[in-house]
Amino acid sequence: MPDATSTTIQLPPGFTAHVANIGIKDTTDDFVVVAADHVCAAAGVFTRSRFAGPSVVVSREHIDDLNARAVVVISKNANVATGATGLHNAREVVGGVARALGCHPEEVLIASTGVIGRQYPMDSVRAGLAALTWPFPTGDTAVTVHGVATGIMTTDTVAKFASAKIAGSDAVVVGVAKGVGMIEPDMATLITLMFTDAEVPAAALDIIFRSVIDRTFNCVSIDTDTSTSDTAIVLASGAAGPVDHTAFVAALFEVALSLTKQVARDGEGAEKLIEVLVDGARDDDQAKRVAKAIVNSPLVKTAVHGADPNWGRVAMAIGKCSDDVDIDQDDVVIRFGPYEAYPKQVDAAGLEALAEYLRGNEIQIHVSLGIDDGAATVWGCDLTDGYIRINADYTT
* Cβ atoms 177, 160 nearer than 8 A: yes
Single out the catalytic residue among 189, 228, 231, 260: 189
Q: How far apart are alpha carbons 350 and 321 in whole angstroms?
A: 28
Q: How far apart are alpha carbons 196 and 172 in whole angstroms?
A: 6
Q: How far apart are alpha carbons 45 and 78 in whole angstroms?
A: 17
Q: How far apart are alpha carbons 115 and 96 in whole angstroms?
A: 23
* Cβ atoms 17, 11 nearer than 8 A: yes
- Burial (CB count within 10 angstroms: exposed 0-12, middle 13-18, buried 19+), residue 129: buried
Q: How far apart are alpha carbons 68 and 40 in whole angstroms?
A: 6
Q: How far apart are alpha carbons 315 and 319 in whole angstroms?
A: 6
CB proximity list for 255: less than 8 A, separation 6 or greater: 162, 163, 164, 173, 174, 175, 194
Q: Give which of 257, 62, 273, 267 is closest to 175, Cα–Cα.
A: 257
Distance of CA 145 to the CA centre of its chain: 16
Q: Which helix (H) or strand (E) holds 194?
A: strand 191-199
Assess whether 28 carries a catalytic annotation: no
Q: How far apart are alpha carbons 345 and 53 in whole angstroms?
A: 51
Alpha carbon distances (Å) from 154 to 29, 157, 224, 237, 245 = 10, 9, 19, 28, 35
Q: Give which of 382, 159, 363 is closest to 268, Cα–Cα.
A: 382
CB proximity list for 297: less than 8 A, separation 6 or greater: 313, 316, 317, 320
Largest pairwise CA distance in the chain: 70
Amino acid sitting at position 141: T
Report, as residue numbers or ranges, the catalytic residues. Answer: 189
